[in-house]
Structure 1
Amino acid sequence: MLGYYEYFPQKRMNVSVKETGESKYKILVAEKDFEAGDVIYKEDPLVVALDSDLQQMGTHCSHCLRLIHKGMAIKPESDRLNAIYCSKECQVASKAESQNLLFTLESPLPPGMDQGLSSLTKPKREEAQKVFTDYLKSTGKTNPLLLARLLARQISLETAKFTPNQPGGIVEPPLTDEGSPGYGISDHIERLRYIDVNALEAERKMITEVLGSALPGLESTLPEDKHALAMGKIAYNAFGVCYSGGRDDKPVSTARPEDQERTRTPYGTSRQIGSGLYVVSAYLAHSCEPNVRPSFSSGTAELHLVASRAIKKGDQLTMAFVDVTQHPDETAEQARRRRRFELARGWRFKCECSRCVSDVTDEAEGDLGVGRDESKVEAAVSRVESGQAGIMPDTD
């Protein structure tokens, strides 16, 4: 019987997911040769979120994250998040996937199925949405928004099944090759690695109240254990979207270093305009001497994976999760320490890439806080992929 990774990623992406010899690790490898500068693949995000300050400024498309010139934005009549769009296409897609359910008072059900429900739920929806959006604005967080959009997109896909082939409706993202056994978003997310995080109960409650106020019964969608797991996956896998050199005006986080949101970006999180989940690129491992880099040269959240040097078929593809350049005001030792601290705090591992090993110094690093890779994979996935369905493997 063919397994999941026989269908994912799609063959057109020129990469495949392989094991490393340690059952809990899976890596992305090239399926053909590439020269430096070649685009290996392009990938759209499953969900995105603008940085909170840009969301409120109304300068970028809330769906594709494109910069919108003054006077060219499409503004919905009612949207509590202050969303704007660069095109009608982005507006329709955003509304169908998550925005309608999360931040408007329009019916979340297909036409003909509402039967007055939206009128009855309007006051409760309005209050729940206000609490959630006020929280996002005051904290500047994007990870809770990514999770809410991920859940809303899955819910929207399920409700759309009642009226298939509806014009302008939501469709399952094409992430596997034709002939696959109907893998959906949950199948892709289930296989992603995660880290243990401090998942706030207040955030879980806000998200479930937004969902439950729209469709009674959805308040049970996100139990505590699933919330912690989902937030751990977002924390480990989210990418920073950065194009045209990035920004210089991102507000400095007031959270403790260990509590700050971090995204995978070689340009530095401070330069990003937003973040997104990319289910293929999530399999890229980190290296301080990477052979690929994410590019957003289209000026949108579409990720272009570009070869940094010549790559042979079968080579593992690695990117820098953090800025690995040596800054003008740093020594080589200080640059090494900075990047290793960022990796330890954001992704819970002590980097042992070839550059870190060759740059080793006598400086003590016991305060990194990690001595091994603390990322995990869900136990059920480990059992299936190891062929030991009745055994609970050690995923630590």
Structure 2
Amino acid sequence: MEGFEVRVSNTKKGKGLFATKQFNEGDVILSEEPLVSCQFAWNAAYRYLACDHCMRPLETPEQNVRRLSAKPDIVLPHSNCFETDLLNITSCNQCGILYCSEECKDVSYEKYHRVLCYIQSETQHPANVLLETWKQIHYPPETANIMLLVRILAYIQQHSDPESAAATIKQFCHRTVNEDAELVHKLLGDEFSSQISTLREMTANVISGEYIQEFLTPEGFCSLMALVGTNGQGIGTSPLALWVNSVSNLTMSDDEKQQLHMFIDKLYQYVEEESGQFLNTEGSGLFLLQSACNHSCAPNAESSFPYGNHRIELKAIKTIMPGEEIYISYLDECALQRSRHSRQKELAENYLFVCWCERCVAASSEPDCSSEEEMSEEEEDADD
């Protein structure tokens, strides 16, 4: 593993990812595929066609924007600057699930699909019953998917060394029983006690076996749910975004660029009016290396999905010297701009830790929150 290593962090957060060489701004630190990934349930229900394994969209940018905007006559200029390879789409011979290529179909079958192959239209199949129950519990916008948990169990069950696979998954489970319960409560809401029991029983109907039984006990299942909720890395893929990136790099006059940017702005306006938050093909995955990155409110790296599938790329956003810990932000850009108090509140609620990064330590003398944030928090408390 050139350039980085996973070892114990000095910040009382367990393990961390550390640089073993210098990375400059823009350098790729690592590129990694997940152990497993899965499209969100509601995302799939809203007809976001994607490869069942790697989440690559199975439509062209033009098809994508026409569907999202409900405007079937939209024509994208320079459509040839971004080629979408849809010629290799294939399906499982047994269940008909779609893949972007034979390679994805084969990898999926070898990793987890062999024990999860079922006809999607069979509404009473245990997997479909579980999925529908999950959708009623976890309305959009989704942050996790019960099927990612099921695929983790299938990954262990199908592995050539199930004990080793189970040990790999356990690396992500490092909280106390009470902390796990608190995280799952946050994930499922006030009815979580009854809901998690229902989900556990339904999951056991979908998959069971010698090496995964410990994950199907009440305590083990709660731990796995907490793992999915906190270590599941959000994945977003979009043919439209990839086309926008490609066309923006074309050589053209200033007038042409201005016309193009106006056209793109209009496209996103149409899409937002029709589809709202359902802009990308979205899901989550479990990444072995990237998940070792701890949080900082002044991160030195960020993750992205530049390949149009579930492969993640971690890039340096400032110079990182050998021996330095590599940090990402668990908060989105908007939350990062808020006060220390607001950042720490969100991290404590969603990840159960108090942040003592350099930025938070330096800001310890700041006011707890701005008047705008106070108003926002009062509104949230009123809603609760």
What TM-score do the two structures reach when normalised by structure 1?
Answer: 0.63
**Shift in Å, 1:305:** 1.0
Q: Distance in 2 between matches of 1:364 and 1:27?
A: 30
Q: Distance in 2 between matches of 1:96 and 1:241?
A: 22
**Shift in Å, 1:335:** 5.7
Q: For 2:125, what is the secondary structure of its paired residue?
A: helix
Which residue is equivalent to 2:358? 354
Instruction: Tell me which of 131, 156, 160 is aligned to 1:154.
Output: 156
Instruction: Tell me which of 242, 256, 265 is aligned to 2:236.
Output: 242
Which residue is equivalent to 1:101? 115
Which residue is equivalent to 2:283? 274
Q: Distance in 1 between matches of 2:12 and 2:234?
A: 28
Deviations 1:214-254 (A, max 9, x none): x79977761111111122222221111135669965759xx
Moved more, 138-147 or 203-212: 138-147
Q: For 1:273, what is the secondary structure of its paired residue?
A: strand
Which residue is equivalent to 1:131? 129
> Which fold has the larger relative contact order, with Cα–Cα distance below 8 Å and residues 6 or more apart in sequence?
2
Q: Distance in 1 between matches of 2:101 and 2:135?
A: 25
The 3 A distance-change label for structure 1 pair 220 and 325 is closer
Q: For 2:207, what is the secondary structure of its paired residue?
A: helix
Which residue is equivalent to 2:49? 59
Which residue is equivalent to 1:190? 170
Q: For 1:362, what is the secondary structure of its paired residue?
A: coil
What TM-score do the two structures reach when normalised by structure 2?
Answer: 0.65
**Shift in Å, 1:148:** 0.7
Instruction: Tell me which of 51, 74, 83 is aligned to 2:90.
Output: 74
Where in structure 1 do 4 or more consecutive aligned residues deviate above 6 Å?
A: 215-220
Q: For 2:353, what is the secondary structure of its paired residue?
A: coil
Which residue is equivalent to 1:363? 368
Instruction: Tell me which of 286, 289, 295 is aligned to 2:304.
Output: 295
The 3 A distance-change label for structure 1 pair 217 and 287 is closer
What letter matches 1:62 in structure 2? Answer: D
**Shift in Å, 1:152:** 0.4
Which residue is equivalent to 2:78? none
Which residue is equivalent to 1:84? 98
**Is the CA contact (8 Å cut-off) linking 1:36 and 1:309 kept in structure 2?**
yes
What letter matches 1:87 in structure 2? Answer: S
The 3 A distance-change label for structure 1 pair 152 and 218 is same
**Shift in Å, 1:314:** 0.6
Deviations 1:61-92 (A, max 9, x none): 1211112226754344654xx84211121122
What letter matches 1:51 in structure 2? Answer: F
**Is the CA contact (8 Å cut-off) linking 2:52 and 2:97 kept in structure 1?**
yes
Structure 2: runs of 5 or more not aligned = 61-85, 185-191, 243-270, 375-384
Q: Distance in 2 between matches of 1:21 and 1:216?
A: 37
Which residue is equivalent to 1:50? 39
Which residue is equivalent to 1:201? 197
Q: Distance in 2 between matches of 1:17 and 1:336?
A: 28
Q: Distance in 2 between matches of 1:346 and 1:220?
A: 25
What letter matches 1:40 in structure 2? Answer: I
* Structure with greater proportional helix content: 2
**Is the CA contact (8 Å cut-off) linking 1:324 and 1:335 kept in structure 2?**
no
Q: Distance in 1 between matches of 2:49 and 2:104?
A: 15
Q: For 2:159, what is the secondary structure of its paired residue?
A: helix
Q: What is the aligned-residue RMSD (CA, Å)? A: 3.6
Deviations 1:255-282 (A, max 9, x none): xxxxxxxxxxxxxxx9771111111111
Number of aligned residues:
291
Q: In the TM superposition, what are the counterparts of 1:157-236 in structure 2 within 5 Å?
A: 157-158=159-160, 184-192=164-172, 193-194=174-175, 195-196=179-180, 197-198=183-184, 200-212=196-208, 222-236=216-230
Deviations 1:155-182 (A, max 9, x none): 1124xx7xxxxxxxxxx9xxxxxxxxxx
Deviations 1:173-221 (A, max 9, x none): xxxxxxxxxx832222222234423361111111111114xx7997776
Q: Distance in 1 between matches of 2:296 and 2:97?
A: 36
Q: Distance in 1 between matches of 2:332 and 2:211?
A: 44
Q: Distance in 2 between matches of 1:217 and 1:318?
A: 34
Moved more, 136-145 or 345-354: 136-145
Q: Taking every aligned residue pair, what percent have the same amino acid on both sides?
A: 25
**Shift in Å, 1:312:** 0.9
Q: Distance in 2 between matches of 1:226 and 1:86?
A: 34
Q: Distance in 2 between matches of 1:363 and 1:23?
A: 24
